C-alpha cells in the first residue's frame, strides 16, 4: 500500500515503475554508486540548483527500489550522515563551560550546529521532484515500517518527523470544503482514504455531499489534490443514533437551514507518513467556525463515533462481563437463546454468544442484551486506560480535544465492521463550546473524563 501511495501523483515515475522497476533491491555496484551520490548530495558541491537536480534523480532511484533496497538506502542515510561525535563532544564541553557567562548563547548555537546532520539536507533536497513533499511523506511511511526492525533508522525518523512537523504546521494548512463540484480526481481520494465508514460507490459519495451534508479537509499548499485529514458532517435536528440511517442514499434530503445539530460522523487521517504530526483538533475547531457562520441556528456539535477497541478489550477481559450483566439480565437473555447458539454458564460466556452477528437480528434477544452491553461500554470508556490515557483511541482523541461523552447508542452500526469492533455500539461525543476549555484542562492535568450523568451512572452500577 505504501508503494501505492508513493506512486500516486508521480506520473513520470509511474511510467518507470510500469517497466517493472520497483522490484529491485540494491546490489553491490549500485550500492556503491548510491553511496557516492549521497555523499555528493551532502557535500553540496556545485551550485544549489544543480545539487537539487541531482537529488531529484536520486529520489527517482529510490522509487524504483523494492522494500529491501529502500531499507538499505535509508540505512546509509541514517548511519553515514549523522553528526560527528567528536565535534559534538568538543562543542558540548565548550557549551557547558560557557554556562552562566555571556558566551553561553553562542556556545549553545555552536553545539546545535555540531548536532546538525547531513541527513535532512539530503532528504529535503529531494523536494526538487515536482511532488517532493508527497514523496517525503511517503518516504516517512516507509521509514515507519522499517524502523520497527532496524533501530539504526530511529534518529533519521525523528529528524524527518520534526521537519515534517515544521512544514505541516497548522498555520500552513488550508481548510477547504469538498463538494460534488470538487474535482473528480480529489473525490476519488475520499473514496480511497475513507477509513471509518467505507464509501461504496460514487452515488454513496454524492449522497454524502448533498445539501444536508458537509465535508471539509485540510490541504497543504504543496500537495494540492491530497486531503491530509477530512471530516464528514451531517446537518440534522437531533443527535444521530444510527450510522446506517445517516448513510442511507434513499433517505429524503433534510433542509439544512432548519438544522440545529451538526454530527461529525467520520474523521479520517490519510497520510501514514505524517504520524506524530497532529492537526485533527484544529480541523474540528475550524469546521465548527465555518458551520456556525453558514448556519447560525446550529447549537449542538457532536460526533457519531465508533468504539474501535471495545470488543477486543471485552474479549480480553472476561472478568468485566459479570460486572455489567446481572443475574437477572442473564436469565432474560437465556430465555431467548435458540438451541444452536452457544449456551451460557456465566456472563463471561456472553462473548461467545456475541461472536457472530446473529443476535442482532433477533429483536427480543437484542433487547435482552441491551442494558448489559451499554453498561459494559460505559465502564470501558470511563474506567479503562493505557499509559494513563483512555484505552479507546477515538475516546482519547475527542476527550483530549475537550469533548464530553454524551450518549451510547445501541445497534447503531449494524455493519459487519460495527459488529466486529463494538457489538454495533456507537458513541456521541459532544463539543459544548462552554465547557471545551475546562474539559481539555481537566483531562490533560488529571485525566478526568467528561461524561453525561447517565453514562457515569451506568458505569457505576
Q: Which is nearer to a second copy, 106 or 244 (CB)?
A: 106
Where does 259-349 show beta strands of DSSP type E? 261-269, 300-303, 305-306
Please work out, in degrees rounded to the nearest 5, the angle formed at the alpha carbon of residue 148 by the alpha carbons of 142 and 193. 45
Kindly tell me which of 257 and 364 has the beta carbon lying closer to a second copy. Answer: 257
**Residue 71, Cα to own-chain centre: how many angstroms?**
24
Least gap, CB of 278 to a second copy (angstroms): 8
Catalytic status, residue 398:
yes
Angle, helices 453-460 vs 363-383, to 10°: value is: 100
Out of 268, 305, 309, 320, the active site residue is 305
Q: Are 247 and 197 in contact (CB under 8 A)?
A: yes
What are the helix (H) ranges across 297-343? 310-316, 321-324, 327-335
Cβ–Cβ contacts within 10 Å for residue 2, how many?
17
Could you tell me how far CA 318 lies from the centroid of its own chain? 29
Q: Which is nearer to a second copy, 267 or 324 (CB)?
A: 267
What cell was used for 359?
443476535
Q: Are 260 and 299 in contact (CB under 8 A)?
A: yes
Instruction: Supply the minimum distance, in Å, between the C-beta of residue 92 and a second copy.
Output: 5
Q: What element of type H or E holds 176?
A: strand 174-177
Task: Please say which residue, 9 or 424, places its beta carbon nearer to a second copy.
Answer: 9
CA atoms within 13 A on the CB side of 373: 28
* Burial (CB count within 10 angstroms: exposed 0-12, middle 13-18, buried 19+), residue 52: middle
Nearer to a second copy, 55 or 350 (CB): 55
Smallest separation, CB 107 to a second copy (Å):
9
Q: What is the closest distance, in whole angstroms, from the C-beta atom of residue 348 to a second copy in the complex?
A: 39
Catalytic-role residue among 182, 309, 398, 458:
398
Set of cell numbers at residue 259: 438544522
- Report in angstroms how near the CB of residue 95 gets to a second copy at its nearest: 7
Tell how strand 261-269 and strand 229-236 pair up: antiparallel
Nearest distance from C-beta of residue 30 to a second copy, angstroms: 24
Pairwise CA distance, residues 200 & 215, whole Å: 17
Q: Pick the closer one to a second copy by CB: 269 or 420.
A: 269
Q: For strand 426-431 and strand 305-306, is the pairing parallel, antiparallel, or unpaired?
A: antiparallel
Q: Look up 101 and say whether it is catalytic.
A: no
Question: Hey, which residues are catalytic here?
Answer: 305, 398
Amino acid at each position: 500500500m505504501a508503494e501505492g501511495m508513493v506512486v500516486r501523483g508521480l506520473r513520470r515515475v509511474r511510467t518507470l515503475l510500469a517497466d517493472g522497476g520497483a522490484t529491485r533491491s540494491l546490489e553491490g555496484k549500485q550500492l556503491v554508486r548510491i553511496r557516492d551520490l549521497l555523499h555528493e548530495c551532502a557535500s553540496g558541491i556545485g551550485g544549489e540548483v544543480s545539487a537539487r537536480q541531482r537529488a531529484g534523480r536520486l529520489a527517482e532511484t529510490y522509487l524504483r527500489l523494492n522494500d529491501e533496497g529502500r531499507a538499505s538506502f535509508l540505512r546509509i542515510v541514517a548511519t553515514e550522515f549523522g553528526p560527528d561525535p567528536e565535534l559534538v563532544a568538543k562543542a558540548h564541553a565548550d557549551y557547558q563551560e560557557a554556562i552562566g557567562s555571556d558566551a553561553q548563547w553562542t556556545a549553545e548555537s555552536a553545539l546545535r550546529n555540531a548536532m546538525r546532520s547531513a541527513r535532512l539536507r539530503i532528504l529535503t533536497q529531494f523536494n526538487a521532484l515536482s511532488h517532493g513533499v508527497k514523496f517525503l511523506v511517503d518516504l516517512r511511511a516507509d521509514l515507519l515500517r522499517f524502523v520497527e526492525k532496524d533501530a539504526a533508522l530511529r534518529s533519521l525518523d525523528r529528524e524527518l518527523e520534526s521537519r515534517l512537523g515544521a512544514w505541516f504546521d497548522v498555520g500552513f494548512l488550508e481548510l477547504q470544503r469538498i463538494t460534488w463540484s470538487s474535482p473528480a480526481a480529489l473525490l476519488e481520494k475520499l473514496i480511497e482514504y475513507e477509513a471509518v465508514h467505507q464509501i461504496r460507490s460514487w452515488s454513496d459519495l454524492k449522497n454524502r455531499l448533498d445539501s444536508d451534508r458537509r465535508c471539509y479537509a485540510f490541504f497543504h499548499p504543496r500537495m494540492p489534490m491530497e486531503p491530509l485529514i477530512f471530516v464528514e458532517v451531517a446537518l440534522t435536528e437531533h443527535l444521530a443514533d444510527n450510522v446506517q440511517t445517516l448513510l442511507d442514499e434513499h433517505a429524503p434530503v433534510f433542509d439544512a437551514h432548519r438544522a440545529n445539530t451538526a454530527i461529525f460522523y467520520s474523521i479520517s487521517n490519510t497520510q501514514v507518513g505524517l504520524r506524530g504530526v497532529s492537526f485533527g483538533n484544529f480541523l474540528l475547531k475550524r469546521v465548527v467556525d465555518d458551520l456556525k457562520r453558514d448556519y447560525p441556528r446550529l447549537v449542538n456539535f457532536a460526533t457519531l463515533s465508533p468504539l474501535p477497541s471495545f470488543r477486543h478489550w471485552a474479549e480480553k477481559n472476561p472478568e468485566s462481563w459479570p460486572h455489567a450483566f446481572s443475574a437477572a439480565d442473564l436469565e432474560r437473555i437465556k430465555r431467548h437463546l435458540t438451541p444452536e447458539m452457544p449456551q451460557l454458564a456465566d456472563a463471561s460466556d456472553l462473548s461467545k454468544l456475541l461472536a457472530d452477528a446473529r443476535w442482532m437480528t433477533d429483536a427480543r434477544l437484542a433487547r435482552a442484551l441491551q442494558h448489559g452491553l451499554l453498561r459494559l461500554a460505559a465502564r470501558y470508556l470511563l474506567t479503562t486506560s493505557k499509559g494513563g490515557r483512555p484505552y479507546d483511541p477515538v475516546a482519547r482523541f475527542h476527550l483530549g480535544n475537550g469533548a464530553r461523552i454524551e450518549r451510547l447508542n445501541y445497534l447503531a452500526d449494524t455493519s459487519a465492521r460495527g459488529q466486529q469492533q463494538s457489538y454495533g455500539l456507537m458513541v456521541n461525543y459532544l463539543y459544548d463550546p462552554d465547557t471545551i476549555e475546562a474539559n481539555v484542562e481537566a483531562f490533560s492535568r488529571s485525566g478526568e473524563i467528561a461524561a453525561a450523568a447517565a453514562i457515569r451512572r451506568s458505569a457505576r452500577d
